[in-house]
Structure 1
Amino acid sequence: MDAYDTGTDARGGPDGPGAAPEPADTPESHGPPDARTGVAALSLRYQIGAALALAVVGVVVCVHIGMVFLHVAPANTVTKKHGKAIEDWVYPEFEQNWKLFAPNPLQQNIAVQVRAEVKESDGGVRTTGWYDLSAEDGRAIDGNLVPSHTQQNELRRAWDFFVATHDGNNRSTGMRGSLSESYLRRIVVMRLDRDDAADKGGTVARVQVRSRTTNVTPPKWSAERISDKPMYRVLPWWPVSAADIVGGAQ
């Protein structure tokens, strides 16, 4: 046999006794079997539950988007027929307005303040100072990269809701007036409770809310002249009921 034919070389070679054995055909050599992940890894019962939960969330989201769209859309047959249901869904948490884009956007800083009449445990009555709730929200937001919706909008929207449903003499102008009052009152009572306004064993018997409005200073290049004096809108005293207290009656 030719000397260059090493296929049967007894001393070992690619095909000789010294050749490396071929790797065994094992399951490991083909990689791990495909494993199910995510929802597919659940049992059929849990898959059905997950599908139902997603369907419910999808329906709620679609209904909410539809309600908000109808709320901001021009009057039409649907809003005329189901206007009450749409308002009940939107107000007060999801109220929409166009003040940012209106011809006359807001040019004032409005702070909502509250004070309380507290009944002491010994029977005495004292009146607290004014708590600037808007300033508290501002301090909580300042420097916070992800402030909560409550810190940014709850108090502000409650005040806007009250103003939109009352005249300059704080008299209700519509059916939602009492709702706006109870909504604002409940918020300020909860905040007073958080601020320990009724410490020393006292209880909040009445609250009074006011707004402090100051004009935004115009830019230096503007020739506009405006007053820098604050304007106050003071509401009457409101008695506090059990429904206004955290954990109270609904």
Structure 2
Amino acid sequence: MDAYDGGSGAPRRADTSDGPASSEGPDSSGGPEAVSSPVGGVLPAPRAELRSSTPVVGAGAADEPAQGQGSDPGPDPGPEPASATAPRHLPPRTGVAALSPRYQVGAALALAVVAVTVCVHVGMVFLHVAPSNTVTKAHGKAIDDWIYPEFEQNWKLFAPNPLQQNIAVQVRAQIRGEDGGSRTTGWYDLSAQDGRDIDGNLVPSHTQQNELRRAWDFFTATHDGSARPVGLRGALAETYLRRIVVMRLERGAVDEGGVVERVQIRSRTTNVPPPKWSTDKVSTTPVYRVLSWWSVPDGVTEGGAR
């Protein structure tokens, strides 16, 4: 009996010897697809020798998603931004920003104090080296108290008269021995001793660098060519220089057991030789300035000045 009732009015499908027409798409063997008939029907595809056991959907199955898979999700939106998938890592704080607020305030105050101190120091030095003006006349003592002695400024290194001589201070002493006899020592070069102490010393003391030199400069500035004092500071300069040389002698130059009775000081001045490329000619013969003997009071001997 036919699958369709004749009274239904539905067209009957033609029966073929090869079996019922199939609306299956291409089989698993890769055979040709079913081709639509120009009269509205579907022509059967050539019979394949091997058929897949898996049923294939009808016409249009190639355009639809496979059974069990959802609909097409649409275009790929691309990777999600990093901020949405991982926390943002900020660079670590360094310097003052890494401190707590309390220490940040302390650091700011310290920097402010340093800045103010530097500004004041630069202003004081400027007023010290500047020509006389209203500010220096009104506040000269405050400026001198700030500058001297650590920050003293002078122009001896530059014009108009740079140093072109080496001046060495030397001393000899008359010593009374324990037996009551007296003897005179040779000349001790105190400036050369200071030079040996400074050479190779990364942090030389102020006394090694300037004490003896400044004492001799003070003496020559307050005495004339005959070693006579000029002004009220001459006696003070003589006492200061004598105390320095006696203390140097007591510390190492004089044999133990002797007492310094008198000292004599002289300076040895030599010109600095010009460079090899210069045509200047200067004498390198040393010039001596010898002072008279100075008696040493008892309070200055036996252990230094008191």
Query: TM class by shorter-chain length?
Result: 0.5 to 0.7
Deviations 1:25-53 (A, max 9, x none): xxxxxxxxx9x99xx9xxxxxxxxxxxxx
Deviations 1:105-147 (A, max 9, x none): 0101111000001011111110000000000011111111111
CA distance in 1, matches of 2:140, 2:204: 33
Higher helix share: 1
Summarize the Cα distance change of 1:187–1:86 in structure 2 as closer, same or farther, 3 Å threshold.
farther
If asked which structure has higher relative contact order (CA below 8 Å, sep 6+), I would say: 1
Aligned with 1:101 (options 158, 170, 175):
158
1:188, distance to aligned residue in structure 2 (A): 0.5
1:196, distance to aligned residue in structure 2 (A): 3.9
**Residue in 2 that maps onto 1:224:** 280
Same amino acid, percent of matched pairs:
72
Deviations 1:141-184 (A, max 9, x none): 11111111111111111111111111111111121111111111
Query: Any idea what SS the aligned residue of 1:115 has?
Result: strand
**Residue in 2 that maps onto 1:115:** 172
**Residue in 2 that maps onto 1:244:** 300
When Rg is computed on C-alpha atoms for both structures, the one with the higher figure is 2
AA at the equivalent of 1:112: V
**Contact 2:247 2:305 survives alignment (8 Å):** no
Query: Any idea what SS the aligned residue of 1:195 has?
Result: helix
Query: Any idea what SS the aligned residue of 2:197 has?
Result: helix
**Residue in 2 that maps onto 1:215:** 271
**Residue in 2 that maps onto 1:20:** none
1:244, distance to aligned residue in structure 2 (A): 2.9
Q: TM-score scaled to structure 1, two decimals?
A: 0.64
**Residue in 2 that maps onto 1:206:** 262
CA distance in 2, matches of 1:160, 1:92: 16
Is 1:166 matched with 2:223?
A: yes
1:80, distance to aligned residue in structure 2 (A): 7.4
1:90, distance to aligned residue in structure 2 (A): 8.7
AA at the equivalent of 1:217: P
1:79, distance to aligned residue in structure 2 (A): 7.4
Aligned with 1:150 (options 182, 201, 207):
207
Aligned residues: 192
AA at the equivalent of 2:168: A
Summarize the Cα distance change of 1:160–1:225 in structure 2 as closer, same or farther, 3 Å threshold.
same
**Contact 1:92 1:158 survives alignment (8 Å):** no
CA distance in 1, matches of 2:230, 2:145: 18
Query: Structure 1: any 5+ residue segments left out of the alignment?
Result: 1-33, 41-61
CA distance in 2, matches of 1:79, 1:179: 28
CA distance in 1, matches of 2:234, 2:126: 24
Summarize the Cα distance change of 1:74–1:101 in structure 2 as closer, same or farther, 3 Å threshold.
same
* RMSD of Structure 2 on Structure 1 (CA): 3.5
**Residue in 1 that maps onto 2:290:** 234
**Residue in 2 that maps onto 1:133:** 190
**Contact 1:116 1:205 survives alignment (8 Å):** yes
AA at the equivalent of 2:185: T
Summarize the Cα distance change of 1:86–1:217 in structure 2 as closer, same or farther, 3 Å threshold.
same
**Residue in 2 that maps onto 1:23:** none
Q: TM-score scaled to structure 2, two decimals?
A: 0.53
AA at the equivalent of 1:114: V
Summarize the Cα distance change of 1:151–1:110 in structure 2 as closer, same or farther, 3 Å threshold.
same
